[in-house]
Amino acid sequence: MKSIEQFIKRVFKHNPPKDQSIEQLVEMLEEKVEDLKEEGYDEEDAIDKTIKEFGDLEDYDLPDMEKEKRRHMRIKTIKHHRNTLLFSGISSALIIALSLFLNFVLFRDLGVLSEPWSPVVAIGVLFWPLSLLYKLLNKKGDMS
C-alpha cells in the first residue's frame, strides 16, 4: 500500500500535520482499501476509489491553517522590519559619530573647515531609520 502513503505525503506536502496524523490517515485509508477488497474490488480499483473518496486538500475547509500561515508571515515580516530598523539605527549612529569626529576634531585641528557641517549630514542620515520606522509602524497597524 505504498501508493496510499505516497498520496498522503503528496497531499500534505505544503501543510504537513503531525507525524501521528499522517500515520493514522494512512492506516484509515488502508482499512478502507481492505473493506473494498472484501466487497469484491481488486486492489488497484479499491485504492483508486479510496483516493477519490478521500479527495484532495482543497476539498477540505482548512481556514485555520491558512489563517495561521498568514499570521506567521506577518510576524516574520515584522521581525524583518525590526531587524532592518535596528541595523539602520546603529549604522546611522556610526555615520553621525564619524561625521562629528571629522568635523569637530580632525578638520578643526587641521584648520581645513571652520563651519560645522556635521548637523546637515546627521539630518540627512536620520531619514533612513525614520523611513524604516514608518514601514514597521504601518505593518504593526495592519496586524490589528
- The C-alpha angle with vertex 115 and arms to 109 and 116, in degrees rounded to 5, equals 90
Same domain as 36, residue 23: yes
The pLDDT value given to residue 17? 65
Same domain as 111, residue 71: yes
What residue numbers bound the domain in which 68 lies?
63-143
3 state SS of 129? helix
Q: Which of 30, 59, 88 is the last residue of a domain?
A: 59
**Residue 50, burial from CB neighbour count under 10 angstroms (0-12, 13-18, 19+):** buried
3 state SS of 16? coil
Among candidate residues 92, 94, 87, 85, the one with its CA nearest the CA of residue 124? 92
Same domain as 135, residue 92: yes
Joined grid coordinates for residue 24:
493514522
Same domain as 50, residue 106: no
Low-confidence residues of the chain: pLDDT under 70: 1, 14-20, 56-66, 109-114, 142-144
Q: Which of 22, 44, 59 is the last residue of a domain?
A: 59
Same domain as 81, residue 55: no
Number of separate domains in the chain:
2
Same domain as 127, residue 74: yes
The pLDDT value given to residue 23? 79
- What's 58's DSSP letter? G
Query: How far is it, in rounded angstroms, from Cα 93 to Cα 50?
Result: 64
Give the CA diameter of the chain.
101
Same domain as 72, residue 18: no
